[in-house]
Protein backbone atom coordinates (compact mmCIF):
# COMPACT_ATOMS: atom_id res chain seq x y z
CA UNK A 1 0.00 0.00 0.00
CA UNK A 2 1.15 3.55 -0.72
CA UNK A 3 2.19 5.72 2.21
CA UNK A 4 -0.14 8.38 3.59
CA UNK A 5 0.82 11.68 1.95
CA UNK A 6 -0.05 15.30 2.67
CA UNK A 7 -0.37 17.78 -0.17
CA UNK A 8 -0.72 21.55 0.17
CA UNK A 9 -1.86 24.30 -2.17
CA UNK A 10 -1.77 28.05 -1.56
CA UNK A 11 -4.63 30.42 -2.43
CA UNK A 12 -4.04 34.19 -2.27
CA UNK A 13 -6.97 36.61 -2.14
CA UNK A 14 -7.77 40.17 -1.07
CA UNK A 15 -10.42 40.89 1.52
CA UNK A 16 -11.55 43.71 3.80
CA UNK A 17 -13.29 43.33 7.11
CA UNK A 18 -14.61 45.23 10.11
CA UNK A 19 -14.39 43.93 13.66
CA UNK A 20 -17.67 44.74 15.38
CA UNK A 21 -17.40 46.14 18.92
CA UNK A 22 -13.59 45.91 18.83
CA UNK A 23 -11.58 48.35 20.95
CA UNK A 24 -8.73 48.97 18.49
CA UNK A 25 -8.14 50.29 14.99
CA UNK A 26 -9.53 47.14 13.36
CA UNK A 27 -13.02 48.40 14.22
CA UNK A 28 -12.61 50.44 11.01
CA UNK A 29 -12.87 49.05 7.49
CA UNK A 30 -9.46 47.74 6.44
CA UNK A 31 -8.12 45.09 4.10
CA UNK A 32 -5.51 42.38 3.95
CA UNK A 33 -3.75 40.29 1.34
CA UNK A 34 -4.72 36.86 2.68
CA UNK A 35 -2.89 33.63 1.88
CA UNK A 36 -4.75 30.39 2.57
CA UNK A 37 -2.76 27.14 2.66
CA UNK A 38 -4.94 24.03 2.32
CA UNK A 39 -3.35 20.73 3.33
CA UNK A 40 -5.05 17.43 2.52
CA UNK A 41 -4.05 13.89 3.41
CA UNK A 42 -4.67 10.64 1.65
CA UNK A 43 -3.16 7.71 -0.16
CA UNK A 44 -2.00 8.32 -3.74
CA UNK A 45 -3.99 6.41 -6.34
CA UNK A 46 -2.20 3.16 -7.12
CA UNK A 47 -3.77 2.06 -10.38
CA UNK A 48 -2.00 2.41 -13.71
CA UNK A 49 -5.37 2.68 -15.49
CA UNK A 50 -6.41 5.67 -13.36
CA UNK A 51 -5.50 8.99 -15.00
CA UNK A 52 -4.85 10.32 -11.45
CA UNK A 53 -2.39 7.50 -10.71
CA UNK A 54 0.14 8.59 -8.09
CA UNK A 55 -1.98 11.52 -6.85
CA UNK A 56 -3.78 12.11 -3.55
CA UNK A 57 -5.85 14.70 -5.43
CA UNK A 58 -5.31 16.52 -8.68
CA UNK A 59 -4.25 20.05 -7.69
CA UNK A 60 -6.64 21.43 -10.30
CA UNK A 61 -9.53 19.62 -8.53
CA UNK A 62 -8.47 21.13 -5.21
CA UNK A 63 -8.22 24.54 -6.86
CA UNK A 64 -11.76 24.19 -8.21
CA UNK A 65 -13.15 23.31 -4.75
CA UNK A 66 -11.40 26.15 -2.92
CA UNK A 67 -12.19 28.72 -5.60
CA UNK A 68 -15.90 27.85 -5.48
CA UNK A 69 -16.22 27.57 -1.69
CA UNK A 70 -13.84 30.36 -0.57
CA UNK A 71 -12.12 32.55 -3.16
CA UNK A 72 -15.14 33.34 -5.34
CA UNK A 73 -17.08 34.37 -2.23
CA UNK A 74 -14.49 36.23 -0.17
CA UNK A 75 -12.03 37.68 -2.70
CA UNK A 76 -12.42 41.47 -2.99
CA UNK A 77 -15.27 41.49 -0.48
CA UNK A 78 -15.99 43.31 2.76
CA UNK A 79 -16.81 40.80 5.51
CA UNK A 80 -19.01 41.89 8.39
CA UNK A 81 -20.55 40.27 11.44
CA UNK A 82 -24.32 40.04 11.17
CA UNK A 83 -24.40 41.64 14.65
CA UNK A 84 -23.71 45.01 13.03
CA UNK A 85 -26.89 47.07 12.71
CA UNK A 86 -28.79 46.42 9.48
CA UNK A 87 -28.64 50.05 8.34
CA UNK A 88 -24.84 49.91 8.57
CA UNK A 89 -24.57 46.60 6.70
CA UNK A 90 -26.90 47.99 4.02
CA UNK A 91 -24.64 51.05 3.77
CA UNK A 92 -21.55 48.83 3.38
CA UNK A 93 -23.27 46.85 0.63
CA UNK A 94 -24.22 50.06 -1.18
CA UNK A 95 -20.73 51.57 -0.86
CA UNK A 96 -18.58 48.49 -1.43
CA UNK A 97 -20.72 46.07 -3.42
CA UNK A 98 -19.51 42.59 -2.55
CA UNK A 99 -20.41 42.44 1.15
CA UNK A 100 -20.43 39.10 2.99
CA UNK A 101 -22.31 38.81 6.27
CA UNK A 102 -21.15 36.06 8.63
CA UNK A 103 -22.52 34.87 11.97
CA UNK A 104 -19.22 35.45 13.75
CA UNK A 105 -16.60 38.13 14.34
CA UNK A 106 -14.55 37.98 11.09
CA UNK A 107 -11.16 37.50 12.73
CA UNK A 108 -8.46 35.39 11.14
CA UNK A 109 -9.18 32.67 13.73
CA UNK A 110 -12.90 32.51 12.98
CA UNK A 111 -12.40 32.76 9.22
CA UNK A 112 -10.03 29.76 9.12
CA UNK A 113 -12.55 27.64 11.09
CA UNK A 114 -15.35 28.70 8.73
CA UNK A 115 -13.19 27.88 5.71
CA UNK A 116 -12.55 24.36 7.05
CA UNK A 117 -16.31 23.80 7.31
CA UNK A 118 -16.80 25.07 3.77
CA UNK A 119 -14.06 22.91 2.19
CA UNK A 120 -14.24 19.53 3.98
CA UNK A 121 -17.64 18.34 2.66
CA UNK A 122 -16.54 18.79 -0.95
CA UNK A 123 -13.42 16.63 -0.88
CA UNK A 124 -13.38 13.35 -2.78
CA UNK A 125 -13.73 10.04 -0.98
CA UNK A 126 -10.53 8.97 0.76
CA UNK A 127 -9.13 12.53 0.91
CA UNK A 128 -9.27 14.36 4.22
CA UNK A 129 -8.75 17.95 5.21
CA UNK A 130 -5.64 17.85 7.39
CA UNK A 131 -5.08 21.54 8.12
CA UNK A 132 -5.54 25.13 7.02
CA UNK A 133 -3.20 28.04 7.58
CA UNK A 134 -4.58 31.52 6.92
CA UNK A 135 -2.11 34.39 6.76
CA UNK A 136 -3.75 37.75 7.41
CA UNK A 137 -0.47 39.66 7.19
CA UNK A 138 3.03 38.61 6.20
CA UNK A 139 3.80 37.78 9.83
CA UNK A 140 0.43 36.79 11.34
CA UNK A 141 -1.64 33.68 10.72
CA UNK A 142 -4.18 31.31 12.28
CA UNK A 143 -4.12 27.54 11.88
CA UNK A 144 -6.84 24.90 11.96
CA UNK A 145 -6.04 21.19 12.33
CA UNK A 146 -8.54 18.37 11.86
CA UNK A 147 -6.92 16.43 14.71
CA UNK A 148 -7.77 19.27 17.11
CA UNK A 149 -11.40 19.43 15.96
CA UNK A 150 -12.69 15.88 16.05
* 26 assigned to active site: yes
What is d(CA 64, CA 61) in angstroms, rounded to the nearest whole number? 5
CA 56 to each of CA 47, 90, 118, 130, 134: distance values in angstroms, whole numbers, following the listed order: 12, 43, 20, 12, 22
* 17 assigned to active site: no
* 76 assigned to active site: yes
The catalytic residue among 26, 32, 108, 109 is: 26
- Nearest alpha-carbon partner for 128 in 6, 37, 2, 45: 6
The catalytic residue among 10, 14, 30, 76 is: 76
The catalytic residue among 17, 108, 130, 136 is: 136
Torsion angle, CA of 8/11/12/14, rounded to 10 degrees?
A: -140
Residues recognised as catalytic: 26, 76, 136
Amino acid sequence: MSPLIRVTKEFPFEMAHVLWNYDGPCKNVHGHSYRLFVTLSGFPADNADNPKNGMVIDFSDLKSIVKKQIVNIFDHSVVLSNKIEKEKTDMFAKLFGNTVLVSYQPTCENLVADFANRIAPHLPSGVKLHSLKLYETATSFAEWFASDNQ
